[in-house]
Amino acid sequence: MVGMALSGLFCGALLGFVLQRGRFCMVSAYRDVYLTRDNRLFLATLIAIAVQSVGVYTLAALGVIQIPEIPFTYLAAVIGGFLFGIGIVLAGGCATGTWYRAGEGLVGSWIALFGYMVGSAATKFGALKPLHDVLTAPKAPHAFIHETLGLSPWLLVVLFSGVTLAAVWRHLRRPQVPVPSPKPRKRGLAHLLFEKRWHPFVTAVLVGLIAVLAWPLSEATGRLYGLGVTTPTGKLLQYAVTGDASVLDWGVFLVVGIALGSYAAAKGSGEFRWRVPDANTAMRSLIGGLIMGFGAGIAGGCTIGNGLVNTALFTWEGWVATPFIILGTWTATYWIMVRPRRRAQRVVVTGAAQSA
Amino acid sequence: MTKHLRVLGMVCPFPLIEAENAMAELAPGDELVIDFDCTQATESLPRWAVQNGHEVVAFEQIGDAQWQIRIRKGA
C-alpha cells in the first residue's frame, strides 16, 4: 500500500509539475484549432501520443508490461466523447487541467473537480450506472485498429510518428515571431524549472515520457493501464464516502499527485494564489464538471485516457472518442464564445447604422 | 489613449477574448494595459499580440499569480 501510494504520488507529481510549468492544456489545443486557427498545441498533443506509443509498444515487446484489451463500446464513445468535449469547455479545463489548476489555487477548478468527481462516481458506481450499462452494451468485435486491419501495431506506430515528425519539422521551419516574457529574476536551474517559458513541444515530449513511465509503475501494483484520471477521480469520492480502502488503486494516488506537483510548481514560481471566480463562472464550472464526469465515465476515458493513452495504443475506442471530444469542444466554443461575439458585433453595426 | 482592462479571476480563453474586444475599439498607436491572473494567459496574451502585429511595450509579474502587460496597437 505504501509503495503503491508513493509510486502513484511520484508519477502524478511529475505530471502535475510538467503540466503547470508547460501550461499544457488539451482544451486549448483542441479549441484553438477552431477559435484562433492555431494548431501549435494540437501538434504538441500528437507528439505526446507518438512518444507514448513508441515507448509502450517497446516495453510490451520487451515483456515489461502487458497491454490490456480496451473494449470498443462505440455508442458510448461517440456520445460520451461529445458530452465530455462540451463539459471541458464549460469547466475551463480538461480532467488533468482541472486537477492541476486546482493545485494553482483556482477555486473555480475545485468546483469543477467536485462536479467531475460526482459525475464520474455516479456514472461508474452510482445512480447513473444503469444508463452507463445500457450505453456501453454494444461492443465491436475488435479492440485494436491493427487487429481489424490485420497489421503489426508497429506499422501504425511508425506511420503515426513519421507523420507527426514531418508536421513538427514543417512547423519549426516556419519563421517564429519572438514572444516577449517578463524579465527573468532567477538564474540557472531555478530559472529553468520555475520561471522560463517551456516550448509546448518540449512539454509534450516530457508528458509522453511520463505517460510511458506510468505503465510499469501502475502494472507493478496490479493495475493494467497507464495514465488515467476519470475512474480514479470517481474512486476518490467513493473512498471518501464509504471508507472502503480496497477502491484505492495506483490511479487514485496519481490524480492526487497531479494536484501536489502542480502546487509545488506554482508555489515555486510565484504563481500560486487562491483565486475566486464570479458566480457565472462558478456555476459553469460545476455544470461542466458534472457533464465531464458522465461523458468520460461512459466513453471510457477523458482527454488523457482516450485522447492520450487509448490513441497511443491504437485502439478504436481512443480514435473514435477523441474526434468526438474535439467536436464537442468546437460546439461549446461556438455557443459560448463565437456566437455571442458575432451577435455583439452585429448590435454594434446596426446601432451605428441607426445613429447615422 | 490608454485603455485599462482588468480581467482578474477570468480563466483562459476569456482574458484573450476580452483583450481582442477592447483592442478593436482602439486606434493604432493607442495602448492597452491588461491586469490578469490566469497563468495560461502569460503565454496566450503576448503571443496573440505579436502575431497580430501589436507591440508588447511592457510585461511584468506584479505579484503572486498576477501579471500586467502593456500592448501598443499596431497599424
Query: Measured between CB atoms, which of B8, B11, B42 is closest to A108?
Result: B11
pLDDT of residue A352: 61
pLDDT of residue B12: 78
Sheet with strand B55-63: strands edge to edge: B2-6, B31-36, B66-72, B55-63
**DSSP, residue by residue, A188-246:** HHHHHHHTSPPPHHHHHHHHHHHHHHHHHHHHTTT---S---HHHHHHHHHHHHH--GG
pLDDT of residue A154: 97
- Mean pLDDT across A266-279: 93
Grid coordinates standing for A26?
A: 488539451
Is the pLDDT at A356 greater than 60? The verdict is no
pLDDT of residue A241: 95
Is the pLDDT at B55 greater than 70? The verdict is yes
Tens-digit pLDDT profile for residues A194-229: 999 899 999 999 999 999 999 999 999 999 999 999
pLDDT of residue A175: 84
Q: Is the ipTM of this complex over 0.85?
A: yes
Percent of chain A with pLDDT strictly greater than 70 = 97
pLDDT of residue A27: 87
pTM of the model: 0.93
Is the pLDDT at B75 greater than 90? The verdict is no
Whether the CA torsion A181, A185, A186, A188 is positive or negative: it is: positive
pLDDT of residue A351: 63
Tens-digit pLDDT profile for residues A123-146: 999 999 999 999 999 999 999 999
Asked if B12's CB is within 8 angstroms of A101's CB, the reply is no
Closest residue by Cα to residue A226 from A318, A100, A310, A292: A310
pLDDT of residue A178: 83
Asked if B59's CB is within 8 angstroms of A182's CB, the reply is yes
Q: What is the CA radius of gyration of chain A?
A: 21
- Mean pLDDT across B10-23: 86
Is the pLDDT at A66 greater than 60? The verdict is yes
The mean pLDDT value of chain A amounts to 93
Helix (H) / strand (E) containing A286: helix A279-299
Is the pLDDT at B66 greater than 70? The verdict is yes
Asked if B59's CB is within 8 angstroms of A271's CB, the reply is no
pLDDT of residue A176: 80
> Per mean pLDDT, which range of A163-167, A250-254, B21-25 is the poorest?
B21-25
Q: Is B11 on the interface with A (CB under 8 A)?
A: yes
* Nearest CA distance, A270 vs chain B (angstrom): 5
Contact B11, A92 (CB under 8 A): yes
Whether the CA torsion A243, A244, A250, A252 is positive or negative: it is: negative
List of chain B residues whose C-beta atoms are within 8 Å of the C-beta of residue A93: 11
List of chain A residues whose C-beta atoms are within 8 Å of the C-beta of residue B13: 28, 31-32, 35, 337
Classified as helix, coil or strand, A66 is coil
- Contacting residues for A268 by C-beta, under 8 A, at least 6 apart: A193, A194
pLDDT of residue A349: 67
Percent of chain B with pLDDT strictly greater than 70 = 100
Is the pLDDT at A7 greater than 90? The verdict is yes
pLDDT of residue A354: 60
